[in-house]
Amino acid sequence: MTKKNFDLEQILEAFGLNLNDYNYKPFGSGHINSTFLLESLRTDQKFVLQKINTHVFPKPWVIAQNIGNTSEFLSRNHPDYLFIHQIRTKDAQDLAVVEQEYWRLSPFISNSYSINTVSDPKMAFEAAKAFGLLTKNLHSMPLDGLQPSIQGFHDLAWRYQQFEDALKNGNQERIKSIPKEIDFVINQKHLVDTYQEIISNIDYPTRMIHHDTKINNVLFDQTTNKSLCVCDLDTLMPGKIISDLGDMVRTYTCEESEESTNFENIKVRPEYFEALMDGYLSQMKALITAAEKENLFFAGPFMIYMQGLRFLTDYLNNDIYYPIKHPEDNLNRAKNQRILLDDLLSKEALYVELINKIV
């Protein structure tokens, strides 16, 4: 057992479960929500219990509504698709509210596993295929009334405005010490312009997408190593496919993580880029519009630039958002993303050619 500062008995009771029937333990590698695995003492039944972090997600009911609407749509239209549905409370609510904290319960997916790094192009293909299949199955889902679970999450224009504000009001000593990083961001502002063109283009559809397509948000089958389903659905909300594709390019293609200071090893691996594009388009090829097809390559620069921008902005603002272990953490993260973006942009012709072979 782990030390707790919440009333687990009351929480489980809200879902019609008896604490005496279950063991529980911390579960997963996520750092935002508090997650536990419940294991029955009498059967092979298992559940995943999560407390939603309301500092990151100030409106948990929006998450519940987005997942709930998606679940209902998939149940009606794609009943065989494996989707992690919310288990409702005894009074038919998607969330249990106990001592002003929000809890949700979902089934544990048996015979599954997750990974934190991509070390094989086949895994990149499978993960991208899983996210493509989700978006494909939600192609005709009505989006009316759905809200973002994080306002402005992938709004590049707003992130750039935050950067400009930091240049005016941030730590002037830090600003003066890193002209190379600042100049690079300013010189790539054309990416913001392209983003705004996409947002205003009526031919570029808004879709129900995942928005957080890191490899550890896919569950793989322990027997076949094929993708089973996607998980961590907090950011499931309307958006543009450049968000999902771009996050995969950013996190699958480089052997070094965004935390790495092995700057000489930070580069895009073409075989991983091709694999993820192939996996995603194996599901979405017939559905993407001409406008989406035209901007498939842009997805990578879009997400890498935005994440680097956020790291640099936080550094200029004295590290008020991302946790750090030493004062240079956010600066090094920004350098990491700058190098990765520079490498991707320098070989744009190669990657566009790879995309065109697939589509």
pLDDT in tens, 253-303: 999 999 999 999 999 999 999 999 999 999 999 999 999 999 999 999 999
End-to-end CA distance of the chain: 51
CATH code of the domain made up of 8-108:
3.30.200.20
Do 168 and 313 form a contact (C-beta atoms < 8 A)? no
| 53-57, 293-297, 329-333, 338-342: least confident range | 53-57
3-class DSSP assignment, residue 50: strand
Confidence tier at 113 by pLDDT (50, 70, 90):
very high
Is the pLDDT at 5 greater than 90? The verdict is: no
* Residue 33: per-residue pLDDT: 80
Sorting pLDDT into bands at 50, 70 and 90, what band is 30? low
Q: What are phi and psi of 333, to 5 degrees?
A: -65, -40
What is the rounded average pLDDT for all residues in the chain? 95
CATH 3.40.50.2300 fits 121-358, yes or no: no
Mean pLDDT, to the nearest integer, of 298-327?
A: 97
Based on its alpha-carbon atoms, the radius of gyration of the chain, rounded to whole angstroms, reads 21
The least confident of 51-55, 126-130, 200-204 is: 51-55
Spatial contact of 340 and 259, defined as CB atoms under 8 Å apart: no
Please check whether the two domains, 8-108 and 121-358, share a CATH topology.
Answer: no
pLDDT above 70 covers a percentage of the chain that reads: 97
Residue ranges of domains in the chain: 8-108, 121-358
Label residue 220 left, alpha or beta by phi (over 0 means left) and psi (-120 to 50 means alpha): beta
Q: What six digits make up the tokens of 80?
A: 């065989």
CB contact at 8 A, 25 and 5: no
| Cα–Cα distance measured from residue 42 to residue 21, given in angstroms and rounded to the nearest whole number | 7
Does pLDDT of 110 surpass 60?
yes
pLDDT category of residue 192 using cuts at 50, 70 and 90: very high
C-alpha pair distances (Å), 338 with each of 71, 153, 238, 250, 344: 38, 20, 28, 11, 10
Q: Which of 148, 149, 159 is nearest to 311 (CA)?
A: 159
**pLDDT tens string 207-225:** 999 999 999 999 999 999 9
What is the share, in percent, of the chain residues with pLDDT greater than 90? 94
Dihedral-angle region of residue 112 (phi above 0 means left; psi in -120 to 50 means alpha; beta otherwise): beta
Backbone angles phi, psi at 103, to 5 degrees: -125, 145
Q: Which of 51, 52, 53, 27 is CA-nearest to residue 39?
A: 27
Cβ proximity of 105 and 31 under 8 Å: no
- Residue 4 scores a pLDDT above 80: no
Whole-number Å distance between alpha carbons of 206 and 213: 17
Per-residue pLDDT, 3: 45
Quick one: which of 221, 217, 255 has its CA closest to 30?
217
Residue 359 near residue 296, CB atoms below 8 Å = yes
Q: Mind giving me the DSSP string for 247-309?
A: HHHHHHS-SS-TT---GGG----HHHHHHHHHHHHHHHTTT--HHHHHTTTTHHHHHHHHHHH
Q: What does the block give as tokens for 124? A: 């990149």
